[in-house]
Amino acid sequence: MNGLRTNLLNSRTPQRIELTEMGFGGAPLGNLYRKVAEPDAQAALQAAYDNGIRYFDTAPQYGLGRSEERFARAIKRFGRDTIHLSTKIGRLLLDCEPDEVTPEAFVDVPQKRIVFDYSYDGVMRSYEASKARLQVTNADILFVHDVCAFSQGSQEASDARVRELFDLGGYRALSELREAGEIGAIGAGVNEWQVCEKLLGLADFDCFLLAGRYTLLEQEALESFLPLCEARDVGIILGGPYNSGILATGAVPDAKYNYQDAPPDILERVRKIEEVCSAHSVPLVAAALQFVLGHPCVKTVIPGAVNAAQVEANLAVLKTSIPAAFWSDLKSGGLVRQDAPMPENRTCYAA
């Protein structure tokens, strides 16, 4: 079986990081919203590896370390040097009393509480703790996690976290780790492209993990952010191509758009996209996932999975053949921006 196509993260970093066009997002294996049995978690990771996925992303937040620990068991089977691995800084996991546990959106978590810390010491402590949980000596990519307004609760809180990152030495720590060759690339994992654009104005970042915000329904990032990434040779890892649901489910009752009920205008737009999908016999979910890969800055998409069947389904979506006429009809119908790069004639397999 041929391997998945790979894309070079960027051409600037000393370490050459080539990511498979589909990666594995580790949030669900932290028991996001529901408990995932250990055999299912390991089967999902193994299915990803067996099908050619070689990029795995996780974070301390995901299950308060549980996702990283599950990754460790799989990495031991795979061999560390056969994959690319990313994790994140910004949250320290501290021992606490039972009533102090901060599970956020995760269930069945260890007895830990989260403390946000973007200082020099916080970055180093977080990275060392992640390496211990992952049972590895390094990560390939280290992301600043959740300095965006969505995660912090307000724009003011986001601005304060960004200031903390620079004023308290967090960025300096990341830069030192990169310069020492401890990590290959540094970036930020966030929910909004606007904070990425701000970070690029402040320092040298290699890549960003963006949870959506460049999708079939949202292309405002084409106005300034993605052109800036092209000019600066910055790679994008796309974490959420479905706008939190509606581009996977379609315009069904209670469809979710960016974690809320989809408003009428979005429902109507999705219905029109579904009409084009129907005319070309293209599944909406495949169109949504493959659309984002049409932009040259988007190097990989990283949907999550909680069992082997979901991994297989994700790969089937990636491999679905979509005719060029489908993408042309989306543009001619005004359903995507005219300047949106389209994934015509792409292939998911390495030559």
* Catalytic (active site) residue 57: yes
* Burial per residue of 153-190, b for 16 or more beta-carbon CB atoms within 10 angstroms, e otherwise: eeeeebeebbebbeebbbbebbeebbeeeebbbbbbbb
Name the active-site residue from 62, 127, 242, 257: 62
Name the active-site residue from 49, 55, 88, 214: 88
Give Cβ neighbours of residue 260 (< 8 Å, ≥ 6 apart).
Answer: none
Instruction: State which amino acid sits at residue 337.
Output: R
* Catalytic (active site) residue 49: no
232 neighbors 13 (Cβ within 8 angstroms) = no
235 neighbors 10 (Cβ within 8 angstroms) = yes
Instruction: State which amino acid sits at residue 260.
Output: Q
In whole angstroms, what is the distance from residue 32 CA to residue 114 CA?
16
120 neighbors 169 (Cβ within 8 angstroms) = yes
Taking CA atoms, 164 is separated from 123, 139, 152, 176, 253, in Å, by 11, 23, 13, 17, 42
Closest CA to 243 of 298, 195, 291: 291
Q: How far is CA 274 from the centre of its chain?
A: 25
In whole angstroms, what is the distance from residue 167 CA to residue 183 CA?
22
What's the token pair of residue 14? Answer: 């000393």
In whole angstroms, what is the distance from residue 343 CA to residue 291 CA?
6
In whole angstroms, what is the distance from residue 119 CA to residue 145 CA?
13
Name the active-site residue from 33, 40, 50, 57: 57
* Catalytic (active site) residue 62: yes
Residues marked active site are found at 57, 62, 88
